[in-house]
Amino acid sequence: MSQKKHPILEFFLLIFIFSSILCTPAPASEAGNDPQTAHISLTPEEQQYIKENPVIDVAFIQGFAPVIYLENGEAKGIMRKILDQVSLQTGFVFHYEETKGIGQKADLFGGMTIQYLPEELEDNPRSKAFLTSQTAVFMHKGVDASNLSHYTFAAVTDGLLPEGIDEGKVKFYPGREATMNAVEKGEADYCYGNEFSIAYYTIKNGYKNTITIPQKMESREYFFLYLNTDERLISIISKALDNISESELQSMILQSASEIDRKISLPLVVNTYGKEIIMILFASILLFLLFLLVTYRSYILYKGQVRQYHMLSDLSGEYIYKYDVKKDMLSLSGELSRLLGVSSRIESFRKNGRGKDAQLYLDDLLLTDKGGYEIALLLEGGETGMFRVVNFVMHNRKRRAQFIIGKLINIREEKEKIKALRMKAQTDGLTGLYNPDTTRTLIKEACSMFHDSSALFVIDVDNFKNINDTYGHPAGDKVLGEIARSLKHSFRNADIVGRIGGDEFCIFMVGDITEELISHKCSQIARTYTAPHLNSSISATISIGVAFNPRLKTTFGDLYKSADEALYHVKRSGRNNYHITVMQDNS
């Protein structure tokens, strides 16, 4: 007949075990004993034996959980709990050793049944039974339990075969758990075992391809076999076992049978928590989709904010860029890229010549040691633009520069305004020439820097007061303006030309200067102003005094004194002329 797999096998097996335990009545007179405090009476000889033999060696066959088994090198199970109580009552220390056979030297052999007792040890004394269990058959799904003779039996190595088993259809394995694993995998078809072991390993390993059926076979009683037949040892342990009540014994059995460390596997987790996993996955997917939605909306908002920021930056004359230190890539905003006429992304920026393809010194943008500085950049149309640079350095956890984010502020108009203000502060408002302070400062600086031959011209308009009194100040101002334009035209751009008084001008020349060049300049200026100006009724002449310095070390004060003396010489001689004084070395 075919067997149907029970849908809640683990629950059924636990109920089966627990009901077997709970149905065993406990003597009322012994139910209240406490094994930790109960007293056993020992003879002086027994006490002496414990003193001389405090350690008792206990051997057991592997693979008999939950009766006795090793877990992480430590003995556990029903037998261990019983002997722990014996230890509390006697003072014995039990040392456990797992073995494949009974031949090992030991004082006790634990978890023994009459079915596995060798003939040579049948006469050895043994303790009373501490556990009785029924036999169950453990078979792979699909096996016909009504005719097991056709199937392969999984047996424990060195164990006794049950009656009626064909030895030709037997496979041996090194323990009860190994036989049950073989049935689960289909390597063997069925095996026998006590109900406690089958339930224990089924729950521990989460078998899904097997079924368990109780069989009306012989009951198995588990006891301790005395390999050490010293009557004192036998008497001591017997007294301790007798002092453990039946209810206490059943409690130990129940506790040991339920202490199962289940092996965690994916099928086990899925079968146990399938619905919960699906709900968690569904919730996780919803949360992930919500996260994507929020992230996307944040990204759209971020792009809009960045676009607004770029628009505001462009309106305010600012241009944005970012340099990725690790990737060595410089990224420019669209406006900055168009302004400079270069690509918006320059890869291997510093490695391949620092923006050489852009024909710019863009690496000047990355002077991160400066809080704010000014640079000149070549623009798309060939012009040069002036910009103020502001950098912000972003560091990683190791305090190393990761990104450099900066902006350029167009300061061309600002520079032009400053230049105009500076020119206004340095020049004379009427003539456009240098004003007196600037003229003196520039000449003093030139005298200290250059030691070539030089000449200082001091020019005065003859009878300028009469022009103002006769024709008015506007006419006089126009005469001064025309004189200033003529002086600019007559001298080099490098020469210093300034107005140092109401009608007095000053020119300083340095370089390869000779008396012939000075005379030529004076004649040129004098001829310019011998003709009438403004109208036929106004005429103006000028007088010129010159101090010529032929490579002598001198100062502005010395030059001006000599030139002024030469000018007054002309004034005393009738005006409208020039005089040159050659400076001498008076040292």
Q: What is the pLDDT of residues 228-247, one digit of tens each?
A: 999 999 999 999 999 998 88
pLDDT in tens, 245-281: 888 888 888 887 777 766 655 665 666 667 888 888 8
| Higher-pLDDT residue of 354, 27 | 354
**Residue 119 domain-assigned (yes or no):** yes
Q: What CATH number has the domain bearing residue 160?
A: 3.40.190.10
Question: What DSSP line would sit under 53-89, residue for residue?
Answer: --EEEEEEESSBTTTBEEETTEEESHHHHHHHHHHHH
Closest by CA to 379, choosing from 340, 343, 344, 414, is 340
Residue 27 lies in a domain: no
Please check whether residues 478 and 564 belong to one and the same domain: yes
Residue 4 has pLDDT above 60, yes or no: no
User: 211-220, 318-327, 405-414, 481-490: which has the highest mean pLDDT?
Assistant: 481-490
Q: How many CA atoms, within 13 angstroms, populate the side-chain half-sphere of residue 329?
A: 7
| 22 assigned to some structural domain | no
Which range marks the domain in which residue 168 is found?
135-218
The mean predicted confidence, pLDDT, of the chain is: 81
How sure is the predictor about 46, in pLDDT bands with cuts at 50, 70 and 90? very high
Backbone angles phi, psi at 579, to 5 degrees: -145, 135
Among 415, 444, 466, where does a domain finish?
Answer: 415
> 508 has which bridge partners?
456, 496
CATH number at residue 404: 3.30.450.20
- φ, ψ at 177 (rounded to 5°): -65, -40
Residue of 284 and 39 predicted with greater confidence = 284
460 forms beta bridges with 504, 543
Higher pLDDT, 95 or 206: 95
Give the confidence band of 439 by pLDDT, cuts at 50, 70, 90: very high
| Residue 576 and residue 441 in one domain | yes
> For 406, phi and psi rounded to 5 degrees?
-145, 175
Residue 38 clears pLDDT 70, i.e. is over it: no
Looking at the structure of the chain, the number of domains it has is 5
| Residue 367 in this model has a pLDDT that exceeds 80 | no
**Whether 282 and 345 share a structural domain:** no
User: How far apart, in whole angstroms, are the C-alpha atoms of residue 9 and residue 213?
Assistant: 11
In this predicted structure, what is the pLDDT of residue 11?
47
| 3-state class (DSSP) for residue 407 | strand
- Based on the domain organization, do 321 and 308 belong to the same domain? no
Q: Alpha-carbon distance 287 to 282, whole Å?
A: 9
Please name the residues in contact with 306: beta carbons below 8 A apart, sequence gap of 6 or more: none
Q: Flag whether pLDDT at 580 surpasses 70.
A: yes
Q: How much is the average pLDDT of 469-496? A: 89
Band of pLDDT at residue 587, cut at 50, 70 and 90:
low
pLDDT value of residue 358 = 43
Residue that terminates a domain, selected from 358, 393, 415: 415
Pairing of strands 93-99, 55-61: parallel
Same domain for 540 and 434, yes or no, is yes
**The predicted structure's pLDDT at residue 233:** 93
Beta-carbon contacts of 486 under 8 Å, excluding residues fewer than 6 positions away, are: 525, 528, 529
Tell whether 139 is covered by a domain. Answer: yes
pLDDT number for residue 323: 86
Query: Is the predicted pLDDT of residue 516 greater than 50, yes or no?
Result: yes
**Contact (CB, 8 A) for 480 and 540:** no
- Domain membership flag for residue 297: yes
- Whether 418 shows a pLDDT value over 50: the answer reads yes
Residue 497 pLDDT exceeds 70: yes
Residues 204 and 336 in one domain: no
- One domain for residues 444 and 401: no
The phi and psi torsions of 407 (rounded to 5 degrees) equal -145, 150
Burial class from Cβ neighbours inside 10 Å (0-12, 13-18, 19+) for residue 460 reads buried
Q: Provide mean pLDDT across the span 159-185.
A: 87
| Same domain? 463 vs 536 | yes
Most confident segment among 33-37, 118-122, 156-160: 118-122
Q: Is 272 helix (H, G, I), strand (E, B) or coil?
A: helix
- The answer to whether residues 462 and 538 touch, using CB atoms and an 8 Å cutoff, is no
Of residues 18 and 273, more confidently modeled: 273
Question: pLDDT tens for residues 332-366?
Answer: 887 888 887 888 888 888 776 544 444 445 566 66
Looking at the fold, whether 364 and 510 belong to one and the same domain comes out as: no
Residues 372 and 385 placed together within one structural domain of the fold: yes
Same domain, 373 and 485: no
Asked if residue 27 has pLDDT above 60, the reply is: no
Q: Where are the alpha helices (DSSP H) in 410-514?
A: 412-426, 436-449, 464-471, 473-490
| 8 within some domain | no
Which pLDDT score, from 0 to 100, does residue 357 have? 44
Q: Check which CATH number belongs to the domain holding 469 and give it.
A: 3.30.70.270
Name the percent of the chain lying above pLDDT 70: 82
Half-sphere exposure of 278 (CA within 13 A, CB side): 5
Average pLDDT over residues 367-388: 74
User: Are 126 and 179 found together in one domain?
Assistant: no
Q: Tell me if 5 is assigned to some domain.
A: no
**Amino acid 25: pLDDT:** 43
The answer to whether residue 397 sits within a structural domain is yes
